[in-house]
Amino acid sequence: MMPPPATIDALLNLAADSPTAVITHLRSDPTLAAAQDSHGYSLLHAAASYGHLDLARALVKDFAVSPNITDEDGETALFNAETVEVATVLIELGVDLSIRNEDGQTAAEKLADEDESPVVATYLRSLGSAGDGGPNGSAASIEAPESFPPLPNGVHVNVGTMQADEVGGEPDAEFRRRIEELAARGDFEGEEGQRELRTLIEDARPIYFAPNTTWRQRYKEFYTRAHDNVWQ
């Protein structure tokens, strides 16, 4: 007996743990790629929520799903982004940062709530007027050197040429412990916290960046790790 045809609800459930299987199903029935459930929730929303970047890319690039597809609340998948990495991919795919939901909020404004993803909101705001709901909500702004949030005052990133044997694989335990403790402090954003962050950066060894990466990639990685507290 032939299995019953897939439905959007079934694929949304499958997307949580089996994004590759979703892509396989879509190759058999691509009409479901842009389908939405009763609340307007789409596979692109699910891909963003679960952090399945390959699925997000496939939906937009292979199945022509609009990166600006919205749910019943008028929200794009960007409103579901919980990490800077997910937000970056959605922007690269063409999501419009200036879209407002039914409450009149942009993704940056909604995600700024402490119960949402304030780190992602900070990143989106750093992109300029587009991240704040301005008229220029395009992916182009991410390419500009100033598109990443500034480091604390007095901190500079100098990028030079490194040989492969100069780069280690993991940060040392002591440095990791110090950055985790600092990021967890209540005064992290204050003057004293930022002063200690500068000291940590000055002590850092160039082992956190793989060779042959651009300055933009290194700057972004440092910013993401420092603000997401992800040193692993």
Q: What is the pLDDT of residue 26?
A: 96
Query: For the segment 3-53, what is each residue's pLDDT rounded down to a tens digit?
Result: 556 799 999 999 999 999 999 999 999 999 999 999 999 999 999 999 999
Q: What is the pLDDT of residue 213?
A: 46
At residue 178 the predicted structure's pLDDT band, cuts being 50, 70 and 90, is confident
Please tell me the distance from the alpha carbon of residue 47 to that of residue 59, in angstroms, as a whole number.
9
Rounded to two decimals, what is the model's pTM? 0.58
Q: What is the pLDDT of residue 43?
A: 98
Rg (CA), the chain: 20
Higher pLDDT, 200 or 157: 200
**C-alpha atoms less than 13 angstroms from C-alpha of 136 in its C-beta half-sphere:** 7
Query: For the segment 94-111, what is each residue's pLDDT rounded down to a tens digit?
Result: 999 999 999 999 999 999
Query: For the segment 211-220, what is each residue's pLDDT rounded down to a tens digit?
Result: 444 444 544 5
Q: Transcribe the chain into DSSP letters.
A: -PPPPP-HHHHHHHHTT-HHHHHHHHHH-GGGTT-B-TT--BHHHHHHHHT-HHHHHIIIIIS---TT---TTS--GGGG--SHHHHHHHHHTT--TT---TTS--HHHHHTSTTS-HHHHHHHHHT-TTTTT-S---GGGGGSGGGSPPPPTT---------GGG--SS--HHHHHHHHHHHHSTTTTSHHHHHHHHHHHHH--TTSS-TT--HHHHHHHHHHHHHHT---
Count of other CB atoms within 10 angstroms of residue 76 = 25
Higher pLDDT, 98 or 171: 98
Q: Are 8 and 35 in contact (CB under 8 A)?
A: yes
Is residue 221 pLDDT above 80, yes or no?
no
- Short-list 43, 78, 75, CA closest to 58: 43
List of domains in the chain? 8-147 (1.25.40.20), 164-228 (no CATH)
Is residue 232 pLDDT above 50, yes or no?
no
Distance of CA 65 to the CA centre of its chain: 19
Q: What is the pLDDT of residue 190?
A: 67
Query: For the segment 119-156, what is each residue's pLDDT rounded down to a tens digit?
Result: 999 899 888 644 454 444 444 444 433 344 454 454 44
Please tell me the distance from the alpha carbon of residue 200 to that of residue 218, in angstroms, as a whole number.
17
- Where does residue 230 rank: exposed (0-12), middle (13-18), buried (19+ CB within 10 A)? middle
Q: What is the pLDDT of residue 200?
A: 65
Instruction: Say how many Å lie between the first and final Cα of the chain, rounded.
Output: 48
Higher pLDDT, 88 or 1: 88
Of 72-86, 187-201, 210-224, the poorest mean pLDDT is in: 210-224
Please tell me the distance from the alpha carbon of residue 7 to that of residue 221, in angstroms, as a whole number.
38
- Placement of tokens 């002063």 in the chain: 195
Higher pLDDT, 93 or 157: 93
> Please, what is the average pLDDT of the chain?
75
Is residue 59 pLDDT above 80, yes or no?
yes
Kindly report each contact of residues 109-117 with a partner whose C-beta sits within 8 Å and lies 24 or more positions away, as own/partner: 109/133, 110/75, 110/79, 111/79, 111/81, 117/81, 117/82, 117/83
